[in-house]
Structures are given as C-alpha cells and as structure tokens.
Structure 1
Amino acid sequence: MTVKTIWQITHSCGHHADRDLSNRAADRRAGFAEWLAKQECTDCWRTSMEGAEPDKAAWLKAKRAEERAESEAWSQQYRMPPLDGTERAVPWGVRCRHQVLAAAYTALVLEGQTSETEWAEIEKAARTVTRAGWWIDQRSSEPDDLTELLQAATEADRTTENPHF
C-alpha cells in the first residue's frame, strides 16, 4: 500500500483545498498535511491576524503536561530509547511516538490481522528511529502506513551513514 500524495486539507477557517504533497518524502506528508489543516487558508490569513486567547493557552499548557507525563511513562514501560532533537521537539516527539504506536497497535493487532510476533518487529524498527522530528511528522499518519514509513526512515538513515549503500 502506498502513502497517498493528494491530500484534502480542511483549513482551520473551514475552507477546503486539495494539495499535492508528492514532492515531500512519504514519511513527511501526514505531518505537513496536519500542519496545513491547522492554518487558515492564505486568503483568510491575510485578512485576520489575531492571536490565541489566554484561557486557551493555559488549558493547552495543562493538557500538554498531562500528555507528556503519560507518554514518558509509556516510553519507560515499553523501553523506548530517548529521542534526539531540540529542547522543544523532544517532549513533542515522545508524545507523538506514543500516540502513533498506540494507535497502530490498536488498529493492526487488536482490530486487525497483525500478530504479536509481527508487531514485535514493527516495534523493533520503531526503536531505531530516534529523531523527534520524524515522530512529529508522522503524528497524523495512518496506522496501516506505519511499516512503510518506518522502512523509509530506516533506509534513509542507512544511506546517510553510508552513501555508497
């Protein structure tokens, strides 16, 4: 199954647009599409430049702290390696990794046809991806795409380490 290239984006303002993301690597499309969806369309952005409400910011900060604690506990329980990245990206990446892998386990193993043995291989591959930004980019990916996305990430790592590979 290939990762889709045309994404229908519903911007935060409610406007819709089809975006061709084929110029991005397969493992970066979902994250970029999610980011686009959180933005107003270009026309609306130009007409309104208002910031976030203070109450919303406080709520979001508390929610993120709760999610961070849950994700860190999960990472320890399942012996996930620490992630590399900026001070801001690492906690976000840990949360995204937790959400991506938990959703994939539910969809593939609990509700799907993937065996625990096959899942162990997926989990093993996931442990090799330690770049926080990669997990952030995959936060909106489909569970069925996880194997292909992990394969793309690990192949990219191998070719960067050994350009003659």
Structure 2
Amino acid sequence: MAVKTIWPIDHTCGHHADRDLSDRPADRRAGFAEWLARQECTDCWRASNEGDEQDKAAWLKAKRAEEQTASEAWSEQYQMPPLEGTERAVPWGVRCRHQILTNAYTALVTEGTNSEAEWAEIEESARTVTRAGWWIDQRSSEPEDLTELLRAATGADRPTENPFF
C-alpha cells in the first residue's frame, strides 16, 4: 500500500484543507502534515501579515527620510555641490555620496594612514563628481578604492595627449 499523497489538514485558524503532498518524499509527508496543522491556513497567514508589510513600508519611508535629512545636512556642512540627475536619483545619490565619503574618511583617515591634507584632496576631487548616478553606482565600493574611482571619474588617470594621433 502506498503512502497517501492527499492529507486532510485542520489549521489552527479553524480552516480545513486537503493538501497534496506528493511533491514531498513519502517518509516526510506525515511530519509536514503535522507541521501544517500547527499553522494558519495560507489565506489567514497572508491576511495577518498584510499589516506587517505596511508597517515595514512605513518604517522604511521614515528611515529614508531620516537618512536624507542627515545626508543633506552633511552635504551643506562640507560644501558638497548639488547633484544632477532624475528626481528619484538625486536624493538617492546624495545619500550614497554621504555614506561613501563618511565610510572612506573613517577607513582612510580615522583608522588608516591618510593625513587630513590627503583627505582634503580626495574631498576636493569628490566635489567635482556631480552626477547622482555615479555615486549610486559606487555605493558598494570599498573605501580604499575611492581615490582610484574618483581619478577615473574625473579623467585624472587618462593621458592628456593621445599618442596615436
């Protein structure tokens, strides 16, 4: 006799469902059916978690607003120029620039071996990059790579004359 594949499940919410467990190995069906019986049915679970998604969205919106305020204050304090880009990209770019530069300062100056004078050069170079998309693209970069990335963005690593012409 084969192990049954359709199992009657009485969920904790009071709903009943006949579940097809044929996709599970035969020796795991009974245990899974018991576990399902200790859960709400799918519809009740979704209904109870719907508010959680709204709470997460509200929390994320508040967190982004807080980060944006801090980033804009930082940009003003350190005289960073406004960024250029789409309506959506500019605020994101401002947050990314803030995070990238503060992380780099910590890694290179506070915890590293760069001097304040060396950092001032990096910061001045960063002021010349005003495309929001560039800062967004660099958001996962390592702080130690910032100098090289800024040189590439500003053309400082490109030869001034083309030897082939």
Q: Tell me the percent identity.
A: 81
* Aligned ranges 1:92-107 → 2 under 5 Å: 92-107=92-107
- Residue matched to 2:89: 89
1:145 equivalenced with 2:145 (yes/no): yes
Distance (whole Å) between structure 2 residues aligned to residue 153 and residue 64 of structure 1 = 27
- Residue matched to 2:135: 135
- Residue matched to 2:117: 117
Give TM-score scaled by structure 2 length: 0.62
Task: Kindly state the Cα deviation for residue 56 of structure 1 after the two structures are TM-superposed.
Answer: 1.4
Would you say how many aligned residue pairs link Structure 1 and Structure 2? 110
Q: Which has the higher contact order (CA 8 A, sep 6+)?
A: 1
Distance (whole Å) between structure 2 residues aligned to residue 77 and residue 94 of structure 1 = 13
Q: Which is greater in Rg?
A: 2
Gaps of 5+ in 2: 1-51, 160-164
Task: Kindly state the Cα deviation for residue 54 of structure 1 after the two structures are TM-superposed.
Answer: 2.1
Task: Kindly state the Cα deviation for residue 135 of structure 1 after the two structures are TM-superposed.
Answer: 0.5
- Residue matched to 1:108: 108
Tell me how large the CA RMSD over aligned residues is.
2.4
Task: Kindly state the Cα deviation for residue 140 of structure 1 after the two structures are TM-superposed.
Answer: 1.2
Distance (whole Å) between structure 2 residues aligned to residue 149 and residue 53 of structure 1 = 38
Q: Name the aligned partner's letter for residue 107 of structure 1.
A: A
Give TM-score scaled by structure 1 length: 0.62
Task: List 4+ stretches of structure 1 deviating above 4 A.
Answer: none
- Residue matched to 1:69: 69
Gaps of 5+ in 1: 1-51, 160-164
- Residue matched to 1:154: 154
CA deviation digits over 1:34-92, x for unaligned, max 9? xxxxxxxxxxxxxxxxxx92221111110000000000000000000000001111011
